[in-house]
């Protein structure tokens, strides 16, 4: 398997700013963070489903052509013949989620508590990095699609699968880390400041 290119970003989790938290938050205020976690869990489930299909291709249980149908059946609407549409569902959904946060949640939190600014600045930066990684992953998928348009069994496109696996695993790791950080740092703040997710 090929390695992820060295120029793909990683998070230095120890360098992330941390908020002071809200030790006096009520259980009801803390529950707003659970809503954010539930939204993120939807993305986690989709990523796990795509990972499962990719693992089946990697292990030889599915051909690329069979994977097209399997991922399509997940409701993610991904096909290896129409890989430009990958971001049409899962990737675009993550992008839309981040745009909503950037346009509504973060400004509302900034207005309510300026102490959150360093955390929100970092989350905004991570959104831009994730966008770049999503675009790069999409390009790897499109390259696979153009070399194996029919996707029926081994072919030229199979040689691009290691890059797909590596980029997907990298993307999934970044997203999971980002989701955890966001949940930990702004989950309770959303409830305290009555910002609806």
Yes or no: say if 130 and 175 are a contact pair by the CB < 8 Å rule.
yes
Q: What's phi and psi for 166, nearest 5 deg?
A: -65, -45
| Contact of 78 with 89, CB cutoff 8 Å | yes
Question: pLDDT tens, 24-80?
Answer: 999 999 998 899 999 999 889 888 888 888 888 788 887 766 776 666 566 544 444
- What are the CA-CA distances from residue 97 to residues 27, 42, 159 (Å)? 25, 11, 33
Rounded to whole angstroms, the Cα distance separating 23 from 4 reads 40
Q: Per residue in 141-160, pLDDT tens?
A: 777 766 655 544 444 456 67
pLDDT for the residue 82 = 44
Average pLDDT, the chain: 80
Whether the per-residue pLDDT at 116 is higher than 50: the answer is yes
Rg of the chain over CA atoms, in angstroms?
Answer: 19
Quick: pLDDT tens for 80-94. Answer: 444 444 444 677 778
Examine the pLDDT at 121 and tell me if it is beyond 90. Answer: yes
> Crossing angle of helices 161-192/117-147, nearest 10°?
150
Return the DSSP state at 2: P
Reduced to 3 states (helix: H, G, I; strand: E, B; else coil), residue 6 is: coil
Burial class from Cβ neighbours inside 10 Å (0-12, 13-18, 19+) for residue 18 reads: exposed
Describe the chain by its helix, strand, coil percentages, rounded to 5.
Answer: 75, 0, 25
156-181 confidence digits (pLDDT tens): 456 678 888 888 899 999 999 999 99
How far apart CA 45 and CA 124 sit, in angstroms, is 23
Q: Which CATH number among 1.20.1530, 1.20.120, 2.20.130, 1.20.950 corresponds to the domain 26-192?
A: 1.20.120
Pairwise CA distance, residues 166 & 184, whole Å: 27
> Residues 84, 142: contact at Cβ < 8 Å?
yes
């Amino acid at each position: 398997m090929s390695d992820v290119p060295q120029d793909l970003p990683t998070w230095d989790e120890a360098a992330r700013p941390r908020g002071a938290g809200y030790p006096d938050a009520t259980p009801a205020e803390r529950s707003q963070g659970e809503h954010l976690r539930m939204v993120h869990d939807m993305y986690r489930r989709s990523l796990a489903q795509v990972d499962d299909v990719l693992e089946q291709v990697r292990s030889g249980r599915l051909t690329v052509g069979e994977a097209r149908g399997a991922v399509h059946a997940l409701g993610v609407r991904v096909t290896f013949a129409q890989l430009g549409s990958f971001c049409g569902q899962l990737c675009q959904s993550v992008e839309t989620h981040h745009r909503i946060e950037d346009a509504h949640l973060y400004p509302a939190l900034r207005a309510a508590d300026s102490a959150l600014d360093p955390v929100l600045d970092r989350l905004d930066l991570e959104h831009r990095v994730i966008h770049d990684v999503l675009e790069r992953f999409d390009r790897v998928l499109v390259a696979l699609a153009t070399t194996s348009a029919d996707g029926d069994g081994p072919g030229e496109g199979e040689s691009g699968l290691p890059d797909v696996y590596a980029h997907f695993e990298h993307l999934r790791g970044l997203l999971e880390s980002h989701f955890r950080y966001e949940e930990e740092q702004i989950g309770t703040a959303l409830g305290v400041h009555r910002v609806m997710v």
